[in-house]
Amino acid sequence: MDPLEPDVFTTKTKELTPSEKQKLEEQNKRGLVSEFKANKLEIDAQRNWDIFYKRNETRFFKDRHWTTREFQELLDQPETEGGKRNLFEVGCGVGNLVFPLLEEQNDDKDSANRFYFYACDFSPRAVDFVRSNSLYDPEQITAFQCDITTQQVHENIAPGSLDVCTLIFVLSAIHPHKFQDVVENLWKLLKPGGLVLFRDYGLYDMAQLRFKPGNKISENLYVRQDGTRSYFFSEQEVAQLFLENGFEVITNAYVHRRTLNLKEGIDVPRIFLQGKFRKKST
């Protein structure tokens, strides 16, 4: 997918056309997913992601080379007095975000900007893929399995020790009732002034409009064919989530991005939500 035009950043929610409104209404036609099935999806969440990685191995997600462009903080802060800064990638999958960053810092030996990386995922298989990557070096990175909605993470990372947490297309895979648990955990792990870098699906992204009747669990929450779930975020609710849990909002906006799917020859407009949130110092 190649971008057609520069990305547009806005805090305005996309206005739906009449046919898009109709698509969203049609999603309710067969009612919402039953409570029984919705509960089962929550119980099976880890299993479903693990099966996802069994099927797709390392082929599904592309390396995320845009991260340093979008999040300058990853580059422009020098090491702190205590040595390396610590970055934690939550829901790392097979490492498409951490390994390009690690490679970049290995290529630039003079860089004053060095991270120690932590990476966790729900899926044991995904973590195995990270650990067996040729770039995996315990001197530079620790990967571990954990459910970020629980207290498990505190067995692996010391409180108040992180400079940056990245949450990239992960919160959308978690039930909205547990968003607050995730943000509370990140708050405990970050140093005062530490940053959360967030990017995920935005409200009315085309992936949301494409869901068929029978896949809607609740407002803006859907289940895919493989049992994994996807939530679509409004700018206001993400701001509120971080503000209410001890962060300040540095930036937070929808990113409208037009890409060309060369294989299908179609122009695909995407909407993501991208934000930076700083743990308050007091």
Ligand X SMILES: C[S@@+](CC[C@H](N)C(=O)[O-])C[C@H]1O[C@@H](n2cnc3c(N)ncnc32)[C@H](O)[C@@H]1O
CB closer to ligand X out of 127 and 190: 127
Question: How far is 129 from 134, CA to CA, in rounded Å?
Answer: 10
Region from 77-85, 170-178, 236-244, 249-257 binding ligand X, contact rule CB under 6 A: 170-178
Please state the closest distance from residue 141 (CB atom) to ligand X, in A.
15
Q: Which of residues 120 and 165 has its CB atom nearest to ligand X in the complex?
A: 120
Q: Does 168 bind ligand X (CB under 6 A)?
A: yes
Q: Contacts with ligand X in 115-134 (CB under 6 A)?
A: 120-123, 126
Helix, strand or coil, per DSSP, at residue 38: helix
Strand spans (E) along the chain? 2-3, 8-10, 85-90, 115-121, 141-145, 162-168, 190-201, 216-218, 221-223, 229-231, 247-261, 266-279
Determine if 93 is a binding residue for ligand X (CB under 6 A).
yes
Min. distance of Cβ 102 from ligand X in angstroms?
14
| Nearest distance in Å: CB 145, ligand X | 8
Using CB under 6 A as the binding rule, whether residue 271 contacts ligand X is answered as: no
Give the contact letters, 28-47, x = binds to ligand X (CB under 6 A), - = no: --------------------
Q: Does 98 bind ligand X (CB under 6 A)?
A: no
Considering only 27, 33, 41, 49, the residue that binds ligand X (CB under 6 A) is 49
* 232 closest CA partner among 278, 270, 273, 266: 273
Say if residues 21 and 275 touch (Cβ distance below 8 Å): no
On whether the CB atoms of residues 133 and 63 are closer than 8 A, the answer is no
* From 168-176, 205-213, 216-224, 248-256, span contacting ligand X (CB under 6 A): 168-176
Instruction: Name which position in 41, 87, 130, 170 contacts ligand X (CB under 6 A).
Output: 170
Using the minimum distance from each CB to ligand X, give the nearer residue, 91 or 275: 91
Q: Does 173 bind ligand X (CB under 6 A)?
A: yes
Check binding of 147 to ligand X (CB under 6 A).
yes
Q: Which long-range contacts (CB under 8 A, 24 or more apart) does 256-261 make?
A: 256/7, 256/8, 256/9, 256/10, 256/14, 257/3, 257/7, 257/8, 258/3, 258/4, 258/5, 259/1, 259/2, 259/3, 259/4, 260/1, 260/2, 260/4, 261/1
Between the CA of residue 191 and those of 17, 19, 107, 117, 282, what are the distances in Å?
Answer: 44, 47, 28, 15, 11
Q: Is 174 in the site for ligand X (CB under 6 A)?
A: yes
Interacting residues with ligand X (CB under 6 A): 49, 61, 64, 91-93, 96-97, 120-123, 126, 147-149, 168-170, 173-174
